[in-house]
Amino acid sequence: MSLSPATLVTSDRVWQECLARLQTEPRFGIDLEANSMYAYRERVCLIQISIPTQDYIVDPLAIENLDGLGRLIANQDVEKIFHAAEYDLILLKRQYGWQCTHLFDTMWAARILGYERYGLANLLQELYGVAQNKKHQKANWCKRPLTADLLKYAQLDTHYLLPLRDHLAGQLAAQNHLEEALEIFADQTKVSPNAQTFDPDGFWGISGAYDLPRQQQAVLKALYAFRDQQAERSNLPLFKVMSDRTLLELAQSCPATLRDLYKVHGMSEGQVRRYGRQLLSIIAESQQAEPPRFPKRNNRPPEEVTNRFEKLHIWRKEKAQVRGVESDVILSRDCLWAIAFKNPRQPEELSQIEQLGEWRRQMYGTDIIKLLQNHTGG
């Protein structure tokens, strides 16, 4: 396969030329590369953009102002074609404050059509005979300079998005699923990034935390905070400082010497050298600390709501099996919970459920109302 080289955008002058060209286009394919496996807080490291006659690879680390792209992404008159947009849209909103409109997501289009293999590499191979080299999936995209192989890999992520979009849109229209797809695409643009603040009680999410004796839970909490501090200081992802399993085993064994630390799963010589004495001090001090309070668990839904959710869950699974798609193509899990809480008994009540769009109300509303009216568990 031969591709014309992409235009590498690493200066404000070239970016302004690129932006001027994009402003004349009714649509463009776009993808991002980030460094989530290499940094404490991920950031956008590369933006790939494709129009029918040119591919661009934009280096956001080298461009002073990308606001013009943000305006295009927010422009309802310009279609943005992503593959698996959710994570990218979260990144754009978190880092730049950009809100996307008029989205076409080729991954969701393929899922709605019942493709079993809907990854971009799978679709490119199946439809265009193009093989992507997966060895670059875990590359550090913030390292410079980028190699020719990495640039080609990045270019492929958007080069085929426009023809892929047209192919899938044609199938959606032929199967009367285009309106459904547009509704799902619009839902995808409503993503809201989680707050990136440290939660000192986040250690309860480590598998095995609840099973520890109370004093060991105090040790785990202190170790959890220490890991976050070290990760932020070194700009490393948490797992590159210490794994959850290592934190748990440190809390369980409470080593008292450097030699003891070497016996703990995942503790390398480098980790013992860098963190050993601090770890021993933290472990000794936290064994005398007050055990942490258990998190409140008062958000469990009432039993009648859970029963309705289970009924809806079974109904959704059956609908998906008949149609040959995955269950969340029918309705999202959040939507099922919203219906279960609202417990609508009349069709007009369905319009009060934000997660249930007009197309899905028309398609599934009668089934949902009938199911809930026949449900005797609340």
Residue 214's contacts (CB-CB under 8 Å, 6 or more residues apart) are: 291
CA 267 remoteness from chain centre: 30
Residue 135's contacts (CB-CB under 8 Å, 6 or more residues apart) are: none
Long-range contacts of 340-349 (CB under 8 A, 24+ apart): 340/301, 340/305, 340/306, 340/308, 340/309, 340/312, 341/301, 341/305, 343/305, 343/308, 343/372, 343/378, 344/368, 344/369, 344/372, 345/369, 345/372, 345/373
| Measured CA distances, 42 to 35, 87, 91, 206 (Å) | 5, 11, 8, 21
Residue 175's contacts (CB-CB under 8 Å, 6 or more residues apart) are: 113
* 246 neighbors 266 (Cβ within 8 angstroms): yes
User: Residue 80's CB: how many other CB atoms inside 10 A?
Assistant: 25
Give the 3-state DSSP-derived string for the chain, with helices as H, strands as E and coil as C: CCCCCCEEECCHHHHHHHHHHHCCCCEEEEEEEECCCCCCCCCEEEEEEEECCEEEEECCCCCCCCHHHHHHHHCCCCEEEECCHHHHHHHHHHHHCCCCCCEEEHHHHHHHCCCCCCCHHHHHHHHHCCCCCHHHCCCCCCCCCCCHHHHHHHHHHHHCHHHHHHHHHHHHHHCCCHHHHHHHHHHHCCCCCCCCCCCCCHHHHCCCHHHCCHHHHHHHHHHHHHHHHHHHHHCCCHHHHCCHHHHHHHHHHCCCCHHHHCCCCCCCHHHHHHHHHHHHHHHHHHCCCCCCCCCCCCCCCCHHHHHHHHHHHHHHHHHHHHHCCCHHHHCCHHHHHHHHHHCCCCHHHHHHCCCCCHHHHHHHHHHHHHHHHHCCCC
pLDDT tens string, the chain, 378 residues long: the values are: 568 999 999 999 999 999 999 999 999 999 999 999 999 999 999 999 999 999 999 999 999 999 999 999 999 999 999 999 999 999 999 999 999 999 999 999 999 999 999 999 999 999 999 998 878 888 999 999 999 999 999 999 999 999 999 999 999 999 999 999 999 999 999 998 988 899 999 999 999 999 999 999 999 999 999 999 999 999 999 999 999 999 999 999 999 999 999 999 999 999 999 999 999 999 999 999 999 999 887 678 999 999 999 999 999 999 999 999 999 999 999 999 999 999 999 999 999 999 999 999 999 999 999 999 987 655
Question: Phi/psi at 254 (nearest 5 deg)?
Answer: 45, 60
- Kindly tell me the burial class for residue 252, based on how many C-beta atoms sit within 10 Å of its own C-beta (0-12, 13-18, 19 or more): middle
pLDDT number for residue 84 = 98
pLDDT number for residue 2 = 65
pLDDT number for residue 133 = 80
Q: What is the pTM of this model?
A: 0.92
Residue 2's contacts (CB-CB under 8 Å, 6 or more residues apart) are: none
pLDDT number for residue 376 = 62
* 55 neighbors 155 (Cβ within 8 angstroms): yes
The rounded distance, in Å, linking the Cα atoms of 284 and 289 is 9
Domains of the chain: 7-188 (3.30.420.10), 202-286 (1.10.150.80), 303-374 (1.10.150.80)
* 251 neighbors 224 (Cβ within 8 angstroms): no
pLDDT number for residue 3 = 85
